Structures are given as C-alpha cells and as structure tokens.
Chains A and B, each alone.
Chain A
C-alpha cells in the first residue's frame, strides 16, 4: 500500500530547501523499495519548522521538521512512514499546540490539501459556498456577506458587503472584480500562502463576488515577486475552467465568470486600489482622487469591486456555513477571524489565524515563542510599514480594529513585526519616512516633498541639530501629511513616526515631556 508523504510547495518552504527534501524522500523510498507518494501541499504556517514533512498514517498525519535531505535516511530508519519516533518528530500534526489553538476558517485547507488538485479541494468542502450562492439572488449573497461582518483585510477594513452593494446597485454594461494581491506590507504573507496553498478558495470567492455584484470578469493583480503564486493561480484557473467552475454558464447555472492573472510592476503604491486599477489598465500606477469610488467608476471606468485576497478567500466559508457562523467569531465590530502574520525577531513565527480579540501577548509570547534573540521584546509594529509601533505596556491589547485605532494604531493586513531591545526607534522612524519617500508616487505635494523633508528632519534630530525646533517642525509636517495627502501612503506615515516619538522619546534624545 502506498504511503502519502507531504512536503510543502509554499515559497517559504522552498526557500528553506523543500524541493531537495522532496527529492530526497522520493529517492530514498525508491532505494528501499517503499511505495511512497509525495504530495506537495501548502504550508501549515509554522515557518520555523519548514520544510515540514508530514506522513499520512491510519491514525492521522504525523509531522517531522525541519527536514533537510540528509535527515531523510534516518527518518526512514526510524519508521517515519508509520509515524515512528524521531528527533525531528512532532507527533500528530493537528495535535501540535501551535496549530490546535487556532481558528482556521479562511485557512481551513491550507497545508492540508494538494493546492492544485480540484478533487482534493472538492473533498474538503470546496465549492460548497458557490453552490449555495448559485441558489441565492445577488442581493441575498450581498446580505449574507454584510451580515457576516467581514471587513476588508487589505488594510482599510471597509465592510465588504457594503462595497459589494454599491457595485451591485451601479448600472453599467460591464462590471469587474479586481483582486488585490500586491501584498506589499513588510512582514506579511497571508495572501501569498492562500494563493500558493489554496488557490481554488480565491477563485471560488471571486466567482461568488462576481455573481453577487453582476460582474462577469475578474482580474487578480499579483506582485511580480510571487512567481510561485502566479503559477499556482494560473494552473488552478485552467483546471477550474476545464471542469466548468469558470467560464460561460458555470455548472449549468446561467452565471458566467472568468479570471485573468496580471503581474504587478513592483511598486508599493500599486497596492493602493486606484493606483492598482491604473496599473491593470496598463498605465503607470498613479493615485486617482476618490470620489469617484472604484465601486462606481473603477477598472476601465466600470463599477469594480476591489478586494484583498484574504477578504475574497473568506467568502466561500461564509456562504457555505452561513453569515452567523462567521460572525460568531470575533469581538465588537471586528467579526470573524484574521490570518495574523508573525514576523521579525520571534522564535516561532508564522501564520496564526485567530478570532479577533486575541491579545498581542498571546501572539508574541505563546505563538511567537518570544524573541529569537532571547532578549526582551521592546517594540512591535502592527499593520505594515505605515502601521504604528507599540511597546510592552500595550501587549494586553486585544487585536481588533477599534481597540487598535483607539490606541492610535491600525490592524492593516494583519502583519506583526517584533523587535528586541537593541532596536533604535529613531532609526525606525527615519526609515518609515524614507520608505514613504521611496514609494511615494509623487503626485501630491505633502507626500512628494514631505517624505523627504521628514527624513531630513529626523536625521537632524538624530544628529542633535536644533532638536526642539526640528521636533516642532516635524510635528507640523506630520500633521500636514496626515490631513492634506491625497492617499493613505502620505496620510499614514505619521503613525510609525508619531508612535516612535511618543513611546520611545529617549531614542531621539528627546525628553518625554517634550513629546507629550
């Protein structure tokens, strides 16, 4: 009887040598005359254990990792094909503490299935959401998504159902779904893991979105740095189309929808939705003033639902299990779950999907395992390069949109980057401004000139030049950037800088009283 061995195809696992490990497993099996079938799955999200090899045993899947090619003969010797003990063994995968406490709704299949096998997808509740949706009217689908409380996971946290309602009600000869897979935030990888590890979920979510708003075509705008995701998507789209899950008259329902993958141009600003639409139209990505909202006048001037990968990939389970099932997770106005990406100076970083309300401390200490350096954590940045920093006094904050915003921060795309006590927060603030300057599209003056002036002012403060004058000038500048910029790049650059100034004035050589 053939034994199934899983070796991830996720880019993080590949970077850590998963291909060589997979080859070694196949070669060793052949040498020993064992009947082994290697499946290249997505990643379970335990990045520090990659390549994480799993064996399917009668008692369930058993995990070993990180497995280097030279570990493979020893694993065979230890009888890993039947779940035998080995120094790299972690026991049954789904009993591992790191995974067990998670609430995986959007990531339910990631790491479990063969991402490119449609039959595997169908065997794991795949396309059940679309089947439900095909029985509902567009307005009923929109109502389900609204009731689920799902908010945009790309960063702006706008209610998805309300956005869809606007597109549904707009009258036009053509409408579009535009999936934002530019994933530019530092320390984030949940979009990539979905696209590589469960591409059909995104395809299904987009198809449901198409039916909900009356769009017959969708684009996925993927950053060029994600070649594996691009390949996985293209392959899954072809498979879905051949099986009648995409194209004209999907499964005899009368609904038509198709998808094309477009590769981004390598600019952070192309992740901003209006700039992304320009780029999709083949132009240089520049910010368009809103209004008009893309939902009314989007791609090629037509009503367009622009949504993040995770937002769209969360839709199938909402339609399958019902709005209430999803909304029962979470707290306050932050409903459902968030795939949180733990990165930076952590022992055990990776992807943790939890209901909103999980505390930073649980994430950093329990899941993240504390810092990799063993030194005390000093700062965490939440929500990408334009997110605020927090210090340890905030570690008991629950992760939820409103709580973070009350504490002058953002959830953003759910990326958390941890720094230990060797971090220089003045340098971090300087870098935030420099980043804004490098990525600025240059259209509006507060960001075009302001980001460069901000970098210069922080440098002057760091060098001890006219500290208090330059500090005052910086505060005025951040106010102008926040309130006068055309888009959120310039408009949010104050978050990392102000939080660093407020919480770590000593790093700037400023008195705390100055900064209050």
Chain B
C-alpha cells in the first residue's frame, strides 16, 4: 500500500520519503542519477542501484540519523555524513563503498552486537540481520559488559510482543506511531545507554495508549516488536 501511495517501486525501501522538486543530478559511485531536489543521498543511492546499509531509516518515515551505518563519503567534504540526512546537491560525487567506510560500519555494527543476544544472531531474518550480512560481521570484541537482556518481554498485547533484548533503539516504532498512526503511544525513555522504548508512561502495551494498529511492528528492523503469530509454540527468549 505504501508503495502505491508513494508511487515507488514495489518492494524497494528508498530509506527516506520521496520529495517533489526540481531535478538534481549527482553521481553515486560514478553512476549518474537524477532525483528531485530535497531528496536524500540515500534515496539517490537506491535509485542509482547503489543502496547503502541502513537501520533507522525507512521510506515510510522522515529521516532521523541515529544508527550511523549509512555513512558515505562525499568528494571535497571532510568526514563521513549519514546519507539519510544528507540532501542531494547538483554535481555531488558520492562514494558508498571504501575500506574506511566498511571499517566504520563494522565498528558501529560491533556496538549493536555487543548488546544483542548472541543466540539470536545466527538464524534471524530481520533487516538487522540482513544488515549484519551485508556489512559482513557477526561477532564483537567487547567481551562482557552492560546489556539490556534482563529487561522482561512485554507480551501483554494479544497480537504482538516486545522483546527489549532485541531492540536496537532505532526509534522507528516511536516515529511510526507518531508519523504514520498519529497516536504518540511510544517514546524513548532515559538517556544514553539507558535509552529504551516505552509505551505511554512505561506501561505494558495493553494498558498504554497503543491502539494495536501494527505500524510499529511493520517498522521494527530487528523483530524486537514482532507478531505473536510467527511463534506457533509461544515465544521463547534465546
């Protein structure tokens, strides 16, 4: 449905919503591509067939810039801007792949892995797992440390459950609730490492303002918010 509304190609996530505007031509990894002014470099990269990895972006939602795996290099510019929040400019020369970018993306994914249940890495099929495959990393070098695995699963809702152990705090559910559903039932609570998804005033989902629309389930890249129907024998934490 989203793809129809937005006139996008079926099954492709452009990372950021389409824009209308004057055509802007740039190159992504040498491929010339023309997109409307106001589009993100991430969208242009998809259009050019050079999609960059991403976790917090999806074309249903406005860009947020929090996961930092979509970093790219731009000719004549210092640093590694996030392609989801970077707007296209005429003549821009974008590089989506380099040793340096791979190193940084691996470094970021290692941080995610350091707070993700090890047993859930191997057989997962979520967007998060695909991103791990794309970037080519499955382990981390941080050893033991603080994790979020002890937070309880919230299965109060009859249709879906929330497992905080698998949450990568990308905020997509929060933004989907707000931007797609207009409900504001979810927030990120706490700061820094303590940041976590909370429904209303940290209530169980069923007791919160959640209307069970499912927008957050669709948005979640890591199956932390997931339909119960996928688990026939009941959900068991790995």
Contact = CB atoms under 8 A, between A and B. Distances in A.
A324 interface: no
A469 to B, nearest CB: 7
Contacts of B114: 449, 453
Contact of A457 (B64, B108, B142): B142
Interface in B72-88: 79-80, 82, 85-87
A437 B192 contact: yes
B192 A438 contact: yes
Interface string B15-41: 000000000000000000000000000
B192 A289 contact: no
Nearest to B141: A473
Contacts of B111: 445-446, 449-450, 453, 477, 480
Interface in B162-179: 168-169, 171
Q: Is the interface of B mostly helix, strand, loop or mixed?
A: loop
Interface string A114-125: 000000000000
A448 B168 CA distance: 11
Interface stretch (A2-10, A222-230, A482-490): A482-490
A18 B1 CA distance: 70
B143 A484 contact: no
A476 B107 contact: yes
A441 interface: yes
A357 B160 CA distance: 63
A460 interface: yes
Contact of A442 (B104, B143, B146, B192): B192
Nearest to B115: A449
A291 interface: yes
A484 B193 contact: no
A469 B169 CA distance: 28
A473 B140 CA distance: 10
B190 A442 contact: yes
A483 B169 CA distance: 20
B109 to A, nearest CB: 9
Interface residues of B, number: 36
A457 to B, nearest CB: 7
B61 interface: no
Looking at chain A's contact residues, is the secondary structure mostly helix, strand, loop, or mixed? helix
B216 interface: no
Interface string A430-472: 0000000111111111111111110011001000001001100
A479 interface: yes
A444 B137 CA distance: 20
A485 B141 CA distance: 20
A483 B101 CA distance: 10
B39 to A, nearest CB: 14
B188 interface: yes
B13 to A, nearest CB: 19
A442 B191 contact: yes
Contacts of A470: 143
A294 to B, nearest CB: 15
Contact of B145 (A291, A442, A456): A456
A449 B63 CA distance: 21
A492 to B, nearest CB: 13
Given A456-B145, A473-B141, A480-B104, A444 B68 contact: yes
A291 B87 CA distance: 8
B184 to A, nearest CB: 13
Contacts of B104: 479-480, 483-484
Interface in A257-311: 267, 289, 291
A485 B111 CA distance: 12
Given A452-B146, A456-B142, A484-B80, A440 B68 contact: no
B143 A460 contact: yes
Nearest to B79: A483
B149 interface: no
B218 interface: no
A448 B193 contact: yes
Contacts of A446: 68, 107-108, 111
Interface string B91-114: 000000000000110011001101
A484 B192 contact: no
Contacts of B86: 291
B194 interface: yes
A434 to B, nearest CB: 10
A437 B195 CA distance: 11
Contact of B193 (A291, A452, A480): A452
Given A442-B191, A448-B195, A480-B108, A453 B71 contact: no
B141 A469 contact: yes
A464 to B, nearest CB: 14
Interface string B192-224: 111100000000000000000000000000000
B68 A484 contact: yes
Contacts of B71: 483-484
Contacts of B82: 289, 486
The 10 lowest CB-CB distance pairs between A and B, nearest first, are A480-B107, A442-B195, A440-B192, A289-B85, A289-B65, A449-B111, A452-B193, A456-B145, A484-B68, A442-B191
22 contacts: A291-B87, A439-B191, A440-B192, A441-B191, A442-B192, A443-B66, A444-B68, A445-B168, A446-B107, A447-B192, A448-B192, A448-B195, A449-B111, A451-B192, A452-B145, A473-B142, A476-B107, A477-B111, A483-B71, A484-B71, A486-B65, A486-B68
